[in-house]
Amino acid sequence: MRPITGQETDFVLVSCSGLGIEPSRREQVLKAKRAGEDSLRRSGLGYTIVRPGPLEEEPGGQRALIFDQGNRISQGISCADVADICVKALHDSSARNKSFDVCYEYVAEQGKELYELVAHLPDKANNYLTPALSVLEKNT
């Protein structure tokens, strides 16, 4: 376990990416989502906001993950992988005051822009979060 530095995340919010929401309710849900996220950002707490793609019931740790900022994800992710990301975010200073989308890797259709794969292979300590989040911007 890493030593406590005071720069760890105090609060992890599992928000939503907006995928899979009924079109008739989408704007209402996204407005509430933005308000909740903005309240957390203004709270003074060290935070991490995780916006997973649609949740899937399957084992975690089996597929590559895409970490992104910009509402470009379109794939799902397992509940187990989201839980693992949240626990790691609590103990990783690179996650502090960041918001990001996360989903499983996928192959883009020909002619469409490919995502930069930000997730890297875990190091010996099974750490994939630090290298993945190091290239993402803080939200404060």
What is the pLDDT, as a whole number, of residue 118?
A: 45
Q: Lowest mean pLDDT: which of 26-35, 38-47, 95-104, 117-126?
A: 117-126
Averaged pLDDT of the chain: 83
For residue 29, pLDDT over 70 is answered with yes
Q: What is the DSSP string of 6-72?
A: S-S-SEEEE---STT--HHHHHHHHHHHHHHHHHHHHTSS-EEEEEESSEE-S-SSSS-EEEESSS-
- Domain limits, the chain: 11-133
Q: Which CATH architecture has domain 11-133?
A: 3-Layer(aba) Sandwich (3.40)
